[in-house]
Amino acid sequence: MKKALILFLWLAVCSWQMSAGQATATPDIVYGELFKEVQMQNVFPDGKTFVDCLPKRNPKEIVQEYNKLKGSSFNLKKFIEDNFELPHTPQLNYVTKEKDVVMHIKNLWGVLVRKPDVLTLAADSTAFNAAQESSLLPLPYPYIVPGGRFREVYYWDSYFTMLGLRESGETEMIDNMVKNFAYLIDKYGHIPNGNRTYYLSRSQPPYFSLMVEMLAGIKGDSIYVNYLPVLEKEYEYWMAGAAKLKPGQQLDRVIKMPDGSVLNRYWDDNPVPRQESYKEDVETAAKTKRNNKEVYANLRAGAASGWDFSSRWLTDKKTLATIRVTDMVPVDLNSLMYKMELVIAKANLIRRKDSVAAAYRKKADNRRLAIDKYCWNKALKYYTDYNLVTRRQTDVITPAGLYPFCFFTRNLDYMSLLASQVAVQVREKLLQPGGLVATPETTGQQWDAPNGWAPLQWMAIWGLDRCGQKDLARDIAYRWIKLNVDVFARTGKMMEKYNVADTKLEAGGGEYPSQDGFGWTNGVLLALIAKYGMPKE
């Protein structure tokens, strides 16, 4: 109880200290027409550049001057360069000297670390403070960023990064990052996609309960109790409005299914073009006759899923304008919610709140039954997403369908039987020379063939290994390890994503070039090497 009280007081102090002067208005609101012009005219090749810029003076003054100067002879790019400081990407200056990939990653932690974000108020309250006008949401403790254009902490990335931090003995950094996420939940009611104002309207796959579980494995069960208040608060965010729904209704992140069971979906509260991908979203909406707000809501929900973007979400499996994320009951999200319910139950059990623990276990049991009912595709013998419009499972085979095998606590013999069935689809549809492909479809989207991603490899290997498919799990691990090591030997880089179909080619697709750094790749590779060792030639 004493530690829980200390955590509570710490959060309260941080909230008071860091709220001073920090605005949460998004760049499109702050800069209005100037924002739209910069994004639509491609002043920067990457739409994320401008929203990460720091103004050199008060934004209101910048907007006023823009309104006076704009016209046919106005040089917009020069105006931006004169009035804004462009974001820095320090790791671009890092020169790879290590030949050993493990040593390289351990050295990279120091490159990817960011110090606590401190907002200091000037003695003269009228003085301009650029940090207070930044889109960056300040955090009280150090953290690890993914790398490249991703200059801030990201929610689900961080869990996989932590896997490598644990193998590197960086337990203090894991502790700091969990504290940062607890701070975000306490201050904003949820963990945003990343610590930027333009990410506040959505979250990402909810891995916080797994982070707490990891930290508890290092520091002991008191961690569960310490973080129980914020675990429950995050749960409330995902479940908000559930009690008011009737069967067949949806509200934000929650869905009441026809049989009365409650499941979740990905959602963003702000149905406008993403500020960091403004032009791309406007152009996507222009390619369809659908209501623009509906398109924007689904593009943002796709970003909330982490799978931005994939044929998994596309009605025609190929065209981004047909995106329908909010119509889907995602199997991976609901498996993570099941895990969250179990962790909250365990925390309450440690507190000797047996009745509360039992209630959360009951919620988890009900959710598991609903996942089986709505997401188990009997024809494919695989877990897939459930489409609320067609009222049937989709036929898209992805590694997301392996999440239940990581978490479900019912009879493992039964889960092993199911795992032997899904293993057939994994081998036939997903397994490639470099690991598992995100989907079998080739669309030009980055979460489709031929690309593979570190988090998907880890979750698939975890689930298959846990439920009896150890040889297949090991095979996937070795393929992924070899691909990562080979690419590092060729390029000196750890990449955000990889081409698993042709391991000599780079990954592609999506809205931006493939990034290097890279947090979750580093974490998963270290964890897999620790578990399986290096593959034999």
Q: Indicate which residues carry an active-site annotation.
A: 308, 496
- End-to-end Cα separation, the chain, in angstroms: 53
Of 266, 261, 264, the closest CA to residue 363 belongs to: 261
Residue of 104, 103, 163 lying closest to 457 (CA atoms):
163
Name the strand (E) or helix (H) holding 407: helix 404-407
| DSSP annotation of 364 | H
Burial of residue 513 (CB within 10 Å: 0-12, 13-18, 19+) is middle
For 396-447, strand residue ranges (E) read 431-432, 435-436
Residue 272 DSSP code: S
Measured torsion, CA atoms of residues 507, 510, 516, 518, in degrees rounded to the nearest 10? -100
Quick check: 85 and 54 in contact, CB under 8 A? yes
Q: Which helix (H) or strand (E) holds 387?
A: strand 386-387
Question: Of 87, 107, 84, which Cα lies nearest the Cα of 96?
Answer: 107
3-state secondary structure 187-252: HHCCCCCECEHHHCCECCCCCHHHHHHHHHHHHCCHHHHHCHHHHHHHHHHHHCCHHHCCCCCEEC
